[in-house]
Amino acid sequence: MFIDSHCHLDFPELVERKDEILAKMAENQVDTALCISVKLETFPNVLALAKAHAHLYASVGVHPDNEDVDEPDVARLVELANDPKIVAIGETGLDYYWHKDAPEWQRDRFRVHIRAARETRKPLVVHTRSASDDTLRLMREEGADVPGGVMHCFTESQEVARAAMDLGFYISFSGIVTFKNAKELKEVARYVPLDRMLIETDSPYLAPVPFRGKTNEPGFVKHVAEHIAELRGIDVETVAERTSENFKTLFRIGL
Ligand SMILES: [Zn+2]
Ligand SMILES: [Zn+2]
């Protein structure tokens, strides 16, 4: 059994094919998926997916790339998170790749999410790109170790992984780890202990090999697990089991 810890099933390219995608999940033994919120405007659609399907869960948050959107405050996030199917706060974090000026509003918004996670005791789903120093600094300053969480779609160095794990965070690998040129990341996937690891698709983006370039979907998370198993010289069943256990522990889901 595999679990996709991060997908965007509400995005048009996936939700329009929802029945087919859910069938493909079952076919690939992907039993559970976490649908990730990226803005408050579309949050109701994410929540509706989780409410309609027992094996789907949801998060609430506003992605750091979304600039001109409804800006959440702590109270709002806490209120929206008050549902048993909302198991995480995010995705949140910092992205200086798409916002090269490293804007203050991203850091303010990240702080708001960390405070909401502390208040609700729901873990954080953290996105970081070209901003690892500031991401870790804010996590420390705001006490992100209290709710804990996951560094999703991890593409940073072993040192950044170590620092995040020291804050009690899990490291989630996406299809990027299957890409031929992702040499350093493959090393990180060998380094991160199995009890700190999650797997994800981040679908509809970043389809793993052999589907690279195509629209990604939760059913493909199996290929991420297979690649990690190969890198570590272990059975895919072990990766599936351990990452599924970690998912349930982190998001406090008694499946
Ligand atoms: Zn992300
Ligand atoms: Zn995402």
What would you report as the CA-atom Rg of the chain, rounded to the nearest whole angstrom?
17
Nearest ligand for residue 6 CA = 2
CA-based nearest residue to 203, from 53, 30, 72, 84:
30
* pLDDT in the model for residue 254: 84
Tell me which ligand sits closest to the C-alpha of residue 200.
2
Residue 152 has pLDDT above 80, yes or no: yes
Question: In 38-108, which ranges are E strands?
Answer: 56-60, 86-95
pLDDT over threshold 90, residue 98: yes
The mean pLDDT of 129-138, rounded to a whole number, is 98
Count of other CB atoms within 10 angstroms of residue 103: 15
In whole angstroms, give the CA distance from residue 139 to residue 132. 10
% residues pLDDT > 90 (the chain):
99
Name residues with Cβ closer than 5 Å to ligand 2, which is an ion: 202
Task: Report pLDDT digits (tens) over 33-68.
Answer: 999 999 999 999 999 999 999 999 999 999 999 999
Q: pLDDT above 70 covers what percent of the chain?
A: 100
| Strands 30-35, 2-7: pairing kind | parallel
Q: Please tell me the pTM assigned to this model.
A: 0.98
Q: Could you tell me the distance, in angstroms and rounded to a whole number, from the CA of residue 230 to the centre of ligand 2?
A: 25
Distance (angstroms) between ligand 1 centre and the Cα of 202 equals 7
CA 91 to centroid of ligand 1, rounded, Å: 7
Give yes or no for residue 255 having a pLDDT over 70.
Answer: no
Q: Ligand nearest 201 Cα, by number?
A: 2
Output the six-digit token pair for 179: 């890409």
Whole-number Å distance, alpha carbon 121 to ligand 2 midpoint, is 21
User: How far away, in angstroms, is 61 Cα from ligand 1 center?
Assistant: 11
* Statement: residue 159 has pLDDT above 80: yes
Average pLDDT of the chain to the nearest whole number? 97
**Other Cβ atoms closer than 10 A to 212:** 15
- Mean pLDDT over residues 230-245, rounded? 98
Ligand 2 center to residue 236 CA distance, Å?
24
